Structure 1
Amino acid sequence: MGAVSATARTPKQDRSRATRQRLLEAAVACLAERGWAGSTVTVVAERAGVSRGAAQHHFPTREDLFTGAIEFVAEQWLVALREHAHALPREGVPRTHAVVGMVVDLYTGPIFRAALHLWVAAANEEQLRPRVTALESRIGREAHRLAVEMLDADEAVTGVRETVQATLDMARGLGLANLLSDDSARRTGIVREWSAVLDGVLRRGI
């Protein structure tokens, strides 16, 4: 009887996971397109094709939904980054350039646009601020760790840790510049030149 019950529960659990994922993806899309003010639980539920009650079953509060959405998509991106790491050039400036390009792509894509709306909202929403601050800090640490890993950077060498972090900060700035207009042409030149600077710093310890 127990085995039958467990088997019967599986499709229900699968549907629940699928519903949760649709809600998270819809929340990110709504934030990127509508901003915080235009992204309510009702709007997200409609976009995901589920009832408001179903949405609140998975995410009791608006803050739960949107912080969960950013975390979900950021983790997906980090997993994809790890999977693509094996395709990077083996060493030197070409590898450094490829890594910098991948990081910049994150900050000029829909994930960053959605996250930015959440950060701006957190500046004015007391209930949201500590959760977004903690989330941004955790994602930032993981992005830095992953960049160090892909660059094979030795942070014991003077200036390496700071320059890797400067790469992430630069990528964030490029993402902001891209919000108002297509900045791809200028960005391409900056990524190329910064990759050469970064590679020079990485080679100090060799």
Structure 2
Amino acid sequence: MGSIEAGWNAFTTGDYAQAEAIFTALLTDPAHAGEGHHLARFGLGYVWAYTGRFSKARSVYQALLHDARARGDGWAAHRAQHQVGMVERLAGDWPAAQACFEAERQMIEALGCPDLPVSVNAYELGTVALHLGQPGRAKGWLDLCLETAACTTDRVALGCAHRALGDWHDVQGEATAATVQWRAAEAAFLAAGDSQAIADLQGRLNRIERA
């Protein structure tokens, strides 16, 4: 049948069909009732979002958000709200994504503004604002993203912050500043052992070098 870990391993290697099969099977397994079913639903939402089944993904995360609110679990609620925003971003509804992440920001404030959730939320708000043609607003969020990521031990979060700031400079036509940020991101992802993120950055750096 597999496990939650096996489902995520399949997902991260791009085997979405296998990930979906594992998460779906876990939902029918009484041995994984409770938290196991919750995690399987969460994983299934990712699979649906990344395979373009946005309505199904949106529904599962909205249901998880409703459940979290009913339990009074603010942490689970903000995570589910974040995933609703992710679905809207992947679906290309940028204004809806922005509204979702703004709502999540308020949830995080109510939780005391811990650094990692603030950083991840600011990353999304900055990325969406940049896409919507709001460079000043985007820069403010991405500076906050880097500032808070640097206060954590999460090298992936730090890499994402530097990468996003590099993207911001790239959009502004500032190739040198973009390269500096992307190189910092590369170092952070290397420390985290994230080979996929490093390969993605190499594409950005190669494009700059060829320009």
TM-score bracket, shorter-length normalisation: 0.3 to 0.5
Q: Which has the higher contact order (CA 8 A, sep 6+)?
A: 1
Structure exhibiting the larger radius of gyration computed from Cα positions = 1
Q: TM-score, normalised by structure 1?
A: 0.33
The TM-score, its normalising length taken from structure 2, stands at 0.32
